[in-house]
Each structure stands twice: as structure tokens, then as C-alpha cells.
Amino acid sequence: AEYTKDSASPMFTSVNNSNIQPIEFAFDIKAFSKDTSAVVIDVTDFVNGDNDVLFLNSGTKKRANLAAIQKDKSYVIAVKTFPINIEVVTVKTYSSSPTAPTFGNVTLELNSSIVLLPKNPMQARYYDPRVGYFNVGYTDFDLNPQGVKKVSIIKRWRLEPKDEEMDKYKRGELVEPKKPIIFYIDPATPPKWVPYLIQGVNDWQTAFEKAGFKNAIMAKKAPTKEENPEWSLEDARFSAIVYKPSTIPNASGPSVADPRSGEIMESHINWYHNVMQLIRNWYFVQASPVDSRARKMVFDDELMGQLIRFVSSHEVGHTIGLRHNFGSSSTVPVEKLRDKAWVEANGHTPSIMDYARFNYVAQPEDNIGSKGIFPKIGDYDDWAINWGYRRFDEYKTADAEKTFMNKWVMENMKNKRLWFGDGESNRDDPRNLSEQVGDDAVKGSLYGIKNLKRIIPNLNEWTKVANEDYSDLEMMYGEVSAQFNRYNNHVSRTIGGIMKTPKLTEEAGVVFETVSKAKQKEAVAYLNENLFKTPVWLLNNDIYSKTGLNGLKVIGNLQEGILGSIFSSYTLNHLVQAATFPGAETYTIPELLADVKKGIWSELPAQKSIDVYRRQLQQMYVDRMNLVLNPPPPVIVTPGTIAGRTATPVDNDYVDVQSSVRAHLISLKAEIISASVRSADQMTKIHLKEMSRRIEKALDPEK
């Protein structure tokens, strides 16, 4: 949207002239009201047809491989009206586009909502990158006299003190809002989970008290038809947690907001039934070594209920405006996560909006209870709600409060626990990692691995279910492997990491800085010792004999993924870029290659035989180096064809990348040839000769 404030200014006229709204459809007027203030139009053709207003836009249809609508196979199911919204439910059938993987028609049931905006827009609050809120935006032609400015305002509910309690609020007393935030629990929800979903919503009440409101948010059971015959899940006046019998292992918290002010008008949290499998698996692999209740495939209702409570609190956080804060857990020292008194009092992350899940650092001997294992609404969440919802009525506009709000944030940023780490738009920063806990990825991962080593010998027993096969054993072995992979990914992200700490111009210090060379070398040492050195603890023939899994493939997939990460163009180019940072002690590409080689090719100087796991790893290493030197061209998909997709080539635009890898391979080839001559093991000789041949081909593909 484009915007200018002064309707009397020439700019206002110019903006309007340059931004005429498209006319989607013209309707015949069928009748007038008695006072002619309202008209009746016939929307049948509009609803029966295909348009961008109610249905799928051209971009969505293109991504879904949908072509023309089949009108004879499309129809209206229902049109429902409520005080502030209209719901249109239709079935639309489209033919597949020529690029679709399969031919034929695609039939969809679509629900379209038309929601009435508030008559008087709420006062907006400008977005601040140091506090994690969802936002809406527009282009303002007035703010910058010599240009234009993109403006973002946060999404939040309209919380206002009751008129008779306004003075109390200004004195700092807790007051109830005129209109609290209420979530109704879908009547289709299994009754035993309802109390936990309600508690997950009500847990936010203490955070809103920081902003001066009591009983600001709550959950209730949906009324029965007898209690309120007009109540409906489709009525936009009512927010709800909607229980969906779906195989999707997830939950989500979307909301509808006024684009003029950011006011959240309603939200329907999607609670998919199979989210229980997801959270059970998380808790099993992260907490079973310290919580005996998690050592089985069917959790007790109380444990599952508490898991549901935590996930619902997280999703409610989204519906009240909060984004993920992946960096929050990085403010907690790893050793504090093993301090029973401290972690039970403070939690293992300051924000439930983090993807910190559970405290996998805690060891059995620490005797830490659920309060120190489960996430909870923490210091950051309290601060974020206070920042977003506290009223400053002395400031009549968002512009007027801007200076005060900036000073307020600057003062609170002195508390590191209130830091917002944007891990979704700032993926370069290794502090903003999903699924990680603690301020040190290496230390935290080592503790996590110790717990995984406790699970593997017990996995067969803990996954047994009477009269069932070994599918659960296979699934949970995969979950343990995936958790191990997360730990390795956390560490690998340190390599080439560039940290970003958003600041406004009034704040001292740099915004961008590189991870120290020592930290990056420590990360490589961890990978050499815990991943590239075959993790034999993960190999279990008893599990493989019952599941058909292949240990060579399991280990190979884990190692190949990390090799692809640390030797991606993304990481290598970051290492080159880091050399341009003033005062930085740079970790160079040759140093990275040399350090990794010490781990992956340790048999060469030691004149040792190379086993099958290491041969596989070394082959993947050489193949990865070849990919850096000789990236494949992009695959261009011609419109009208069926197969194929656009592949992203390895981007080595930065200097030093290919030259460093080339020099490394020349040196490595010489060492391989020398070791091959000295080796007495036949399979090792064969392998090394093959590696030499592949390196030669990588260095000169035309040869």
C-alpha cells in the first residue's frame, strides 16, 4: 500500500492518481433500501467464477500447477453471514497446467472470508527490529521529504482500559480491558485435552499484567447450542483453537489484522491431531534420559497434557503478535542448564517463542524436574508484551511516541535475556538457531550426545508395544539420528558465521561481526571427533536386524549433509567476506580445508588401513570438492514440459574459493599417492587409487 497523510497536499493527489485501484467486477444494482443508503446486488456470477478477490491468485495457481477453471465442475456450497464477516464456501475444479507432474483435474474446497474493518482504526505502533513482532507495512510519501520510506507497524490486539478505570491504569494499577482476548476451544476437541489448551492460553495472563492489564487473555469452552445458538466457529467476532483430525504433525497460529493499524481482529489456531506424535517424539529423544515417563510410546495423559499446554502457549504467542525468537536460548550459559535451582526458577530459555523445545543438556545426575526441562513464558515474553501493549496515552500518534519507545528499548537491551534473535530473516547468525539450547553449540551438543548414547541401548525396550511390529523402533531410531544431526548442524553453523545485532543510530557498537577464529576451529574439531570419526555408538546391529536399516547409509547421510554445509558456496563465500571486516582475525578457506583434512584423512600420515565407513566419507569429501570446482549448470525447465526443476548451481563468485580448493586438492592428491604406495591393505590401495583418479578428474575435467 502507498500512503500520504495530508489530503490537501499535491502529493496526496499525485499518489491517488498514480495508484488507481483495479476494478475486478461490475455488479448490476437490483434494488435500493427505502432510504437509498444501501443497495442489493447479485454476486452469483462473481462467486461462481474465478477471481483474485475471493479465490486463488495467479501466483498461487502457478505454484500449484493449476490452469483454467472447469465451471461445470465447480459450485457454491454455502454463503454465511455474520455481524462483521461473510463466509463463502465453494468447490472449484481446475485443469492441471502443462508443467504439472500429473495430468487431469484438481478439485479444491475453498473458504473465502470477507471481514469488516473497524470504523475507527486503532493507534498504530511502529515496528522495532529489536523486539520480535509480526508487522504490516506501507510506503509513506510524507515521512522523507527527499524520497519515500517503507513503514512497518506491529500487529497487536486493541487492549484499552475501561473508561472508569483509565486513571487507575495511569497510576500503574492493574485494570481489566474493555474487551479481553478470548479463545474458545473447538467443541470437537477431545475433552481430556481441553483443560491443558485452556491453561496454555491463560499462561499469558502474567505477561499482560506487565503491560498493566489483568484478565486480558483467557480461554473458554465453546458454548453449546443451548447456551448460545448464535455462536459459530465461522463468526469473526470469536477467536478459537480449532481441532483438526489431520495427519499433519503441526500446529499454527495465524491471525487477521487491520492493514491500516495492525490491529489483530481475530485468530483461529489450527491444532492438528497428529501434533501429539511430533511433541511425543521430541520429548522422547530430548528428555527420556532424565524423565522415566518418556521411556515408552504412549505417554500418560498428564505428561501429554503438559506437552500440549506448552505448544498451545507457543501458538497463542503468535496470535498475539509475537514472532519466533530463535536467539533467546543463546543468552543462557550452558552450565546454567545443569544447575537445578537456577534452571527450574528461570527456565532453559527466556522465551517460549524460541524453538528451544526441551532442556537436552540436563544430565540424569542433575536431578532436574519438569520446571527445568519444559519451556515456559519467560523474561523476553514478558518484556515483548509490555513493549507492544502498554499504553502511553500522552502520545497521540505513533510518531509522537517514537523517541520515547526507542529510549525504552535501549534501556532494556542492557538485559541480555531480553534480546530478540531473528533466526528467520537472519540465518547467518549462529546465535539464532532453531532447536538449540545454550550459548555454546559445542558444549551443548556434547551434553546432548551423552544423552543420545543413553537412549540407543534401551531403544528396543522403550519402543515395544504389545502386538505391534518394529515400526516404532525404526521411527524412533530415525528421531535419535535426526537429533544427532541437529547437534552437528548447530556446530557447523558457527563456521563462516556472521552475527547481526540490530541497533538504531543512537546506540553504540557494531551491528555486524564475525564469529571468532577460535570458535570456528573449535567447531571443526568437534565435527572431526564426533561426526567424521565414525560415531560407532549410533551403530546397533540389533536395531538394524529388526528394521532393515543400513548403518553405512545412516552414517553416510549424516556426514554428507554436514560436508555439504561447511563446503557450500554460502559458507565458503562467508569466510572470504569475513576477511573484509575491520579487526577480524580471519579463519581462511585454506585453514578450514587443512583442519577438516586432519580429521577426514587422518589415516594418510598414520599409514593405517581405511575401513568402509571412512572410505565412504573420503569419497564424499572428494566429490564435494569436485562440486566446488566444477559446479553443474542450472537445469532450465522449458514451459510445456513435464519433468525437471531449476537447480541452484554452486555459486563461487567470490575470490579465493576455487583457487584455495584447487591448491588443496593438488596437495591432497600427492599425499594420497604416497600413502597408496606404502599401504599393505588391498582395499585401502584400491580406494586411494580411485580417490587420486577422482581428484585428477576434478582438477582437469577435460582430461
**Which of 391, 321, 419, 383 minimizes the C-alpha distance to 162?**
391
pLDDT at 4: 58
Residue with cell 540407543: 456
Judge contact between 486 and 562, C-beta under 8 A: no
**Residue type present at position 192:** K
In DSSP notation, 554-587 reads HHHHHHHHHHHHHTSHHHHHHHHHHTTSTT----
* pLDDT for the residue 252: 92
Per-residue pLDDT of 283-322, as tens digits, reads 999 999 999 999 999 999 999 999 999 999 999 999 999 9
Average pLDDT, the chain: 93
Number of CB atoms found within 10 A of residue 324's CB: 21
SS3 label, residue 205: helix
The 10s digit of each residue's pLDDT in 481-517 is 999 999 999 999 999 999 999 999 999 999 999 999 9
Question: What's phi and psi for 543, nearest 5 deg?
Answer: -65, -45
CA distance 672 to 300: 56
Contact 98, 639 (CB under 8 A): yes
Mean pLDDT of 361-373: 98
pLDDT for residue 646 is more than 50: no
Give 119's contacts (C-beta < 8 A, 6+ positions apart): none
pLDDT tens column, 337-346: 999 999 999 9
Q: Which residues 6+ apart lie within 8 Å of 613 measured at CB?
A: 534, 552, 555, 556
Q: 163-462 belongs to which CATH class?
A: alpha beta
Angle separating helix axes 441-455 and 275-287, nearest 10 degrees: 100
| pLDDT for res 639 | 42
Q: What is the CA radius of gyration of the chain?
A: 29
Q: Is 659 helix (H, G, I), strand (E, B) or coil?
A: helix
CB atoms within 10 A of CB 397: 9
How far, in Å, CA of 336 to CA of 345, rounded? 11
* pTM score of the predicted model: 0.92
Number of H helices, E strands in the chain: 23, 17
pLDDT tens profile 77-128: 999 999 999 999 999 999 998 888 888 899 999 999 999 999 999 999 999 9
- Which tens digit of pLDDT belongs to each residue from 616-645? 999 999 999 999 999 988 655 444 433 433
